[in-house]
C-alpha cells in the first residue's frame, strides 16, 4: 500500500504578507498569491525555499484583497491555475476597489479558473496528492491539515 507523502507548509511571503506553499511531495498548493507587479519577488522566494514554480498545481486566495490576490493573473500566465471557491467568485472583480494605477494590477479573468465548493475541496486536493480540505468559518477560510495543524487567514 502506498503511503501518502507528508504535508509540509513553507512561507514564501514578502512585504509583510504571508504566502504559504502547502506540499505533499512534488504536489503543491500556493495559499495566497501576492502583491501585483511582484512576480520576480515571488519567483525568487519560491526558489529560495526550494519550490519550483512548475510544481504548483493551484493557487488559492483566502480573500480577494490586493495583498493576497493581486498577483493572480500574472501567475496564471506563468501556468499556475487558480482554484476559486464558489463563494468567492463575486468578490474577484471587487479587488479593483483596492488598486491604484501605480499598482500594476492585471485584471483576474475567469479563463482557466477551477471553481469548487468547500464540499468538493477534499476531492480536488486529493487529485493533486494533498489529502486535506478547505473549511469555512464565519471569520475566515481554514486550510486543515492533520499533519501540520491549521492555517488561518482573516479576510
- pLDDT above 50: residue 143: no
- pLDDT above 90: residue 32: yes
Where does 37-152 have alpha helices with state H?
39-48, 66-69, 72-77, 121-127
* Domain annotation covers residue 36: yes
* Domain annotation covers residue 139: yes
Number of independent structural domains in the chain: 1
* Domain annotation covers residue 121: yes
Supply the DSSP string of 89-146, one letter for each residue: GGGGGGGGGG--GGG---PPPSTT-EEE-TTTHHHHHHHTT---EEEE-SS-EEEEET
CATH number at residue 44: 3.60.15.10
- pLDDT above 70: residue 149: no
Contact in structure between 83 and 99 (CB atoms under 8 Å):
no
Contact in structure between 12 and 44 (CB atoms under 8 Å):
no
pLDDT for res 154: 37
* Domain annotation covers residue 1: no
Residue 95 is part of which domain span? 7-153
What is the distance between the alpha carbons of residues 38 and 42, in angstroms, rounded to a whole number? Answer: 6
pLDDT for res 135: 81
* Domain annotation covers residue 2: no
pLDDT for res 137: 66
The count of residues in the chain is 155
What is the distance between the alpha carbons of residues 17 and 34, in angstroms, rounded to a whole number? Answer: 8
Amino acid at each position: 500500500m502506498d503511503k501518502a507523502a507528508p504535508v509540509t507548509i513553507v512561507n514564501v511571503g514578502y512585504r509583510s504578507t504571508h504566502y504559504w506553499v502547502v506540499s505533499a511531495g512534488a504536489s503543491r498548493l500556493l495559499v495566497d498569491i501576492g502583491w501585483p507587479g511582484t512576480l520576480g519577488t515571488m519567483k525568487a522566494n519560491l526558489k529560495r525555499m526550494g519550490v519550483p514554480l512548475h510544481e504548483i498545481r493551484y493557487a488559492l486566495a483566502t480573500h480577494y484583497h490586493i495583498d493576497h490576490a493581486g498577483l493572480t493573473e500574472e501567475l496564471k500566465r506563468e501556468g499556475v491555475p487558480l482554484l476559486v471557491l464558489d463563494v468567492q467568485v463575486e468578490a474577484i472583480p471587487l479587488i479593483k476597489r483596492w488598486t491604484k494605477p501605480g499598482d500594476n494590477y492585471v485584471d483576474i479573468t475567469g479563463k482557466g479558473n477551477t471553481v469548487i465548493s468547500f464540499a468538493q475541496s477534499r476531492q480536488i486536493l486529493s487529485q493533486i496528492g494533498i489529502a486535506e480540505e478547505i473549511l469555512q468559518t464565519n471569520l475566515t477560510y481554514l486550510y486543515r491539515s492533520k499533519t501540520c495543524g491549521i492555517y488561518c487567514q482573516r479576510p
